[in-house]
Amino acid sequence: MNFSKFLTEYFVKYASVNTQSDASKKSLPSSEGQKKLLDIIKADLESFGVADLKYQDDAVLIAKIPQNTDARPISFMAHVDTVDIGASPDVKPQVVEFTGDDIVLNKERNIVFKVSEHPDINAYKNQEIIMTDGTSVLGADDKAGVTVMTALAKYLMTENIPHGDVYLIFAPDEEVGLRGAYALDVSQLPKDVLSYTIDGGPVGEFGYENFNGAGVEIYIKGVSIHPGQAKGILVNPILVANDIIAKLDKLDTPEHSEGKEGFFLVTGIKGGASDAEIQMIIRDFDKAKFEERKTHLKNIVAEVQKAHPKAEISIDISDSYANIASTMGDDKSAVELVETAMKNIGVPIRVEPIRGGTDGAVLSVKGIPTPNLFTGAHEIHSVLYMLMVRRKIRQDIRLILQILLKLGKK
């Protein structure tokens, strides 16, 4: 089986399906394209000979490849949706040979990928790279993970690789709040399952620490009156909202943080004459600091409330997900196996803190610690999105097979 050829072909096929998720929709999946892709994946797996395929709630596709030896079960998870950044929803992937020169992505629109602005690409000289035409995201987040899983299914169905039960989970709507992961009924998986998401970045990147995350909604009810009669009466809720935001540390934001540093981020604000609303997120790797951030925000609201006694201000903070590392306990098998597998195939491992949320964070809170494997993608959530093809594909598949082989020997 030619993995590079298979994964290039199937990735291009999957990426060409519009699967942008829609945060405004409450349905699961939130877009028709996601259901279309799930059906395509199901048909592909059936054609490979995978018989145990089922939908949970017509939204989460779960495939099971039965064991052929007595070994610990393992599961892999990827999401089928792609992020909506306001670019074109129509993805036109193109395979290019990187020679070291700038790459013309779109001649008609004069869109050029400049090597000087993206020096990471120099590590992939004389290799094939899948890129966009500069008008859309590529969707390697996470159709690269989806494609790796379908390739793994075909390989296991055609080769005699010793393995325990293998579960492949294809979930929708990760980009709009990890909805597919929240919907997944983990009782369908064995309690001793080793679990991974395939949703990471460049080759060798491995993550099992991520932010603790929370969403925040602050609602402000002001007092409206004609501005000509407003003295001593008017309470402008937009200005009250501004006072709350102004009390946040201007350096405690994503654009001023890195590594394991947390932040506050105002994600939205809307208002009028009578009320206003602020949407925020809180992120921190450290659980104690995460809780301190919640308290700090509540204290800010209390201070502003005192300054505007006629206003009515409420704050609601809801946890989104937790740090995977804090859920692992004493069983570090999922991490140790990957470290061994990467060493065996000569892939330099880069353990990176995940500065975001993954489906694995949700599964971890549900009792199944789920680290995150790389996909080979760069420039994630950008129209300059790129996926390293030849070297990445062989390494990712071989890494997974190394894990399976090690489990098969137990």
- List, as one string, the DSSP characters of 2-56: -HHHHHHHHHHHHHTS--B--TT--SSSSSHHHHHHHHHHHHHHHHHT--EEEEE
Look up 174 and say whether it is catalytic. Answer: yes
Strand partners, 206: 351, 373
Q: Which of 55, 136, 123 is nearest to 94 (CA)?
A: 136
Exactly one of 22, 81, 284, 379 is catalytic; which is it?
A: 81
Look up 142 and say whether it is catalytic. Answer: no
Exactly one of 22, 165, 174, 275 is catalytic; which is it?
A: 174
Q: Which of 182, 211, 379 is nearest to 284 (CA)?
A: 211
What's the length of the chain? 410
- Long-range pairs of 153-157 with CB within 8 A, sequence gap ≥ 24: 153/45, 153/48, 153/50, 153/63, 153/65, 154/1, 154/6, 154/48, 155/1, 155/3, 155/397, 155/401, 156/65, 156/404, 157/48, 157/49, 157/50, 157/65
Catalytic residues: 81, 174
